[in-house]
Structure 1
Amino acid sequence: MALSSSAASSGNICPDFAIKVPMFPVHTWLPDAHVEAPTGGSVILAGVLLKMGTYGFLRFAMPLFPSGLHRAMPILVALAVVGILYGAWLSIAQKDVKKLVAYSSVSHLGFVMLGLFALTPEGVAGAVLQMINHGISTGALFLAVGVIYERRHTRLIADFGGLARVMPIYAVVFMIVCLSSIGLPGTNGFTGEFLILLGAFKSFPLATGLATTGVIFAAVYILWMFQRVMYGPVSNPKNAELPDLSLRELAVFAPLLVLIFWIGIYPEPFLSRLNPAVDTVLQLIQSR
Structure 2
Amino acid sequence: MSSNRSGRPAFVRRLRIASALVLSVALASCQSMDLSRSDVRAGLIPPTKAPTLMVGAEAVAERTPASIVVDMDTGRVLQADDPDGLRHPASLTKLMTLYMLFEAIEAKRIGLDDAMPVTAYAAARAPSKLGLRPGDTIRVRDAMFGLAVKSANDVASVVAEALGGTDDAFALAMTRKARSLGMTRTNFANPSGLPDEAQISTARDMARLGYEIRKRFPQYASLYKTEGFDYGGRHYTATNKLLGRVAGVDGMKTGFVNASGFNLVASARRNGRGVIVVVLGGRTGRERDASVEALIDTYLGPAS
Do the structures match in fold with TM over 0.5?
A: no
**Range of TM-score over shorter length:** under 0.3
Looking at secondary structure, tell me which structure has more helix per residue: 1
Looking at secondary structure, tell me which structure has more strand per residue: 2
User: Which structure is larger by alpha-carbon Rg, 1 or 2?
Assistant: 1
User: Normalized against structure 1, the TM-score is what?
Assistant: 0.28
User: Normalized against structure 2, the TM-score is what?
Assistant: 0.27
